[in-house]
């Protein structure tokens, strides 16, 4: 009997590719270029599984041309690049890579928060510039983090991990989420659920951890930024379109808010030119989950999910269980 065929659309960790090779015929696109939708459709012909990345756009129109594909295993926890309801309608299973990146992503959200608050990148550039003459009482003064208020939008796994870090810095934790935490978890995290408006008004730091959905597109726009304190700092490690980028540029320019730390952008890898001109923003190229161990494990998890389906098992990280037929 011939082996099932899997398409891996872009370079992943080699350990993950080695996991699947004994069981499948593997079409491994061992490059960073990525496939166009047309190339992806063409290369997926005859494949039962696709290991995709967040740069692979898989809307309904593309899914409709993936005849025979039984599973799309995304190497990411976010899956806004895939039309999951359309996949479900076609009986295609979709999986992601949760949990493994929670702590790593929370570490980076906190790194951005701290870098923006304490002007780490400005300090680095200043030392490099050779302009550092002497110690001054107010040289690159920033804002305290300890005992300040951290507001978290989206209190899922990553939001909670960020709250734990805030607790470690004796911060006051507020959160806003459709689903309240249990009283026990609220007590453990020292977190208080408040309205969206109260969170924006009261927080010194606002960290975003909501998934990108039609409802959260431009979740933070001009109106929300106007509610924030002029000293507030916005951190986004969720998805770029959660923030209205032109509105954020205006708010940073006019000092409606003090600063921002951004790992994600509306049209990656393009960055709004206004953001590149400002010194009160710390920018990173979508690397919040980018530790070696985490990215390697994400690669392996995606491959394990794909393999499970090909071996007739239910994958561990199934996003559309209603499409699964045992």
DSSP codes joined into one string, 36-86: -HHHHHHHTTT-SEEEE-TTS-B-HHHHTT-TT--EEEESSS--TTB-HHH
Residue 268 appears among annotated catalytic residues = yes
Q: Nearer Cβ to ligand DGY, position 54 or 262?
A: 54
**94 binding ligand DGY? (CB under 6 A):** no
* Shortest separation between residue 196's beta carbon and ligand DGY, angstroms: 23
Q: Which of 11, 45, 157, 286 is catalytic?
A: 286
Q: Are 100 and 158 in contact (CB under 8 A)?
A: no
Q: Which of 119, 239, 272, 297 is catalytic?
A: 239
Residue 239 appears among annotated catalytic residues = yes
* Shortest separation between residue 206's beta carbon and ligand DGY, angstroms: 19
**216 binding ligand DGY? (CB under 6 A):** no
Q: How far apart are the C-alpha atoms of 269 and 298, rounded to whole Å?
A: 21
* Shortest separation between residue 211's beta carbon and ligand DGY, angstroms: 9
Mask of contacts with ligand DGY, 265-304, x by CB under 6 A?
Answer: ------------------------x---------------
50-84 core/surface letters (b: 16 or more CB in 10 A; e: else): bbbbbbbbbeeebbeebeebbbbbbbbbbbbbbbb
Identify residues 53-82 at the interface with ligand DGY (CB under 6 A).
Answer: 54, 76-78
* Shortest separation between residue 239's beta carbon and ligand DGY, angstroms: 7
**154 binding ligand DGY? (CB under 6 A):** no
Residue 128 appears among annotated catalytic residues = no
Assigned token pair, 263:
């790992």
* Shortest separation between residue 156's beta carbon and ligand DGY, angstroms: 12
Q: Nearer Cβ to ligand DGY, position 289 or 305?
A: 289
Q: What are the CA-CA distances from residue 71 to residues 4, 26, 83, 115 (Å)?
A: 12, 14, 13, 40
**101 binding ligand DGY? (CB under 6 A):** yes
Angle 18-24-27 from CA coordinates, rounded to 5°? 80
Q: Nearer Cβ to ligand DGY, position 160 or 289?
A: 289
Binding residues for ligand DGY, rule: CB under 6 A, are: 54, 76-78, 101, 289
The residues assigned a catalytic role are 239, 268, 286
């Amino acid at each position: 009997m011939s082996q099932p065929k899997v398409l891996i659309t872009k370079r992943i960790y080699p350990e993950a590719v080695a996991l699947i090779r004994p069981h499948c015929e593997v079409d491994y696109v061992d490059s960073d270029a990525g496939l166009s939708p047309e190339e992806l459709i063409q290369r997926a012909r005859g494949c039962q599984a696709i290991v995709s990345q967040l740069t692979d756009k898989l809307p309904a129109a593309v899914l409709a041309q993936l005849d025979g594909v039984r599973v799309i295993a995304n190497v990411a926890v976010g899956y806004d690049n895939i039309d999951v309801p359309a996949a479900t309608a076609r009986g295609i299973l979709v999986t992601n890579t949760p949990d493994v990146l929670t702590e790593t992503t929370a570490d980076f959200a906190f790194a951005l928060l701290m870098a923006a608050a304490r002007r780490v990148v400005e300090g680095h550039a200043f030392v490099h510039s050779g302009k550092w003459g002497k110690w001054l009482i107010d040289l690159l003064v920033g804002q305290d983090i300890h005992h300040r208020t951290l507001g978290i939008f989206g209190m899922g796994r990553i939001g909670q991990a960020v709250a734990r870090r805030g607790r470690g810095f004796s911060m006051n934790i507020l959160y806003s989420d459709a689903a309240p935490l249990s009283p026990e978890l609220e007590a453990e995290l020292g977190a208080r659920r408040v309205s969206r408006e109260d969170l924006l008004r009261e927080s010194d730091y606002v960290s975003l951890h909501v998934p990108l959905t039609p409802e959260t597109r431009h979740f933070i726009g001009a109106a929300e930024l106007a509610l924030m304190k002029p000293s507030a700092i916005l951190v986004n490690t969720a998805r770029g379109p959660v923030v209205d980028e032109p509105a954020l540029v205006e708010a940073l320019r006019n000092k409606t808010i003090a600063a921002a730390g951004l790992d994600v952008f509306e049209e990656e890898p393009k960055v709004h030119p206004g953001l590149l001109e400002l010194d009160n923003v710390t920018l990173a190229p979508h690397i919040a989950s980018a530790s070696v161990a985490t990215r390697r494990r994400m690669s392996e998890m995606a491959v394990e999910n794909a393999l499970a389906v090909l071996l007739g098992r239910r994958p561990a990280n199934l996003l559309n269980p209603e499409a699964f037929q045992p």
